[in-house]
């Protein structure tokens, strides 16, 4: 039997009773084609990025570091999913952590 634990609150989730949500996050290096000089070679940079992503899907990810591409997966209970959906980047928590004065 597979056991699931909420990655937010660490509560064990019963697959027969608890609703479980899966959050998948894909982070990859962005390429801005406007920043490329016009006199640069005729390489298709977007195609190169697509090739890298396809190699990842084929299991060749050991050549590519986490600074270029990363896939994350989390299991969440309904309560943690609500918190995540309201604040997916954690911005509110970061502002509250500093507790700046109003002057």
pLDDT of residue 54: 79
Helix (H) or strand (E) segment spanning residue 45: helix 45-57
User: Which tokens belong to 65?
Assistant: 């570091």
What percent of the chain is modeled with pLDDT above 90? 39
Residue 84: helix, strand or coil by DSSP? helix
Note the pLDDT tens digit of each residue in 36-70.
555 466 777 788 888 877 777 766 555 557 778 88
Q: Which of 4-8, 51-55, 90-94 has the highest mean pLDDT?
A: 4-8
| C-alpha to C-alpha distance for 69 and 88, rounded to whole angstroms | 19
């Amino acid at each position: 039997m597979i056991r699931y634990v909420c990655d937010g609150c660490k509560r064990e989730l019963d697959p027969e009773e608890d609703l479980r949500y899966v959050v998948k996050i894909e982070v990859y290096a962005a390429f801005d084609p406007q920043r490329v000089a016009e006199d640069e070679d005729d390489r298709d940079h977007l195609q190169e990025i697509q090739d890298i992503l396809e190699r990842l899907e084929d299991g060749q990810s050991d050549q590519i570091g986490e600074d270029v591409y990363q896939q994350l997966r989390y299991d969440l209970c309904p309560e943690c999913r609500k918190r995540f959906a309201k604040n997916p980047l954690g911005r509110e928590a970061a502002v509250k952590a500093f507790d700046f004065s109003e002057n």
